[in-house]
Amino acid sequence: MGRKQRGRAARNARRKLPPNFESDEVKRAPHVLVFKRGPT
């Protein structure tokens, strides 16, 4: 799949994690939500 993913799904795909993996990331760095939930 050569599609460009953004946000949580893209970062987790690089780390080989499921796209819905965010809980501990959010606790560690809530400011990252701006990029994840912001403009797509």
Kindly report the three-state secondary structure assignment for every residue of 7-30: HHHHHHHHCCCCCCCCHHHHHHCH
Give the pLDDT band of residue 40 (cuts 50, 70, 90). very low
Average pLDDT, the chain: 57
pTM for the whole thing? 0.22
Mean pLDDT across 3-11: 65
What separation in angstroms does the CA of 34 have from each of 2, 12, 22, 29, 30? 25, 16, 13, 10, 8
